[in-house]
Amino acid sequence: MTEKEKMLSGMKYNALDKDLIAELNIVKDKLMQYNHIPPTRLDERKALIKQILGKTGERVFINQPFYCDYGKHIEVGDGFFANFNLTILDEAMVRIGKECFIGPNVSIYTACHSTNPTERNTRQEWAKPVTIGDNCWLGGNVVILPGVTIGDNVTIGAGSVVTRDIPSDCVAVGNPCKKIKDIL
């Protein structure tokens, strides 16, 4: 298997693989371009973000700056809105449903690293996908950790760190993030 195939399958892979680094650099160039398009040139921004991301709905708006690793492992639904400084480390798939709102400074991580420094220093890592359902709102400064699934119709309170799955139809807050009330 290639290092990319290992990465996408959740196996340990070499993060310093030359082919992976080359892909990362291509996306970094596109992100630099995207982040420097004047904000009023909406059609140009929309066209470039559709090149960067793997799949998008029609109504997608991502405020600059935006950061990701591969881009093509990210899918967002129709009506997606992200505020400033969205960061998505998409070594695994990140799927975000329709009509989702993302507050400023939100980070979504799929990359995992060993807590053992000797292992970590080998640059071997693995990745776990993140899924966010339809009609969700992530408040400012939310962090979503690898492997998390968030159901439909969920509000995650500002500053929360989501370490485990959150069920549909609720408000969840805190570090670690927990459901505090049902909605609907």
Residues acting as catalytic residues: 113
Nearest-angstrom CA–CA distance, 156 and 106: 11
Sequence-separated (6 or more) residues with CB below 8 Å from residue 161: 142, 143, 145, 174, 175, 176, 177
Nearest-angstrom CA–CA distance, 158 and 177: 10
Nearest-angstrom CA–CA distance, 88 and 109: 6
Nearest-angstrom CA–CA distance, 37 and 45: 7
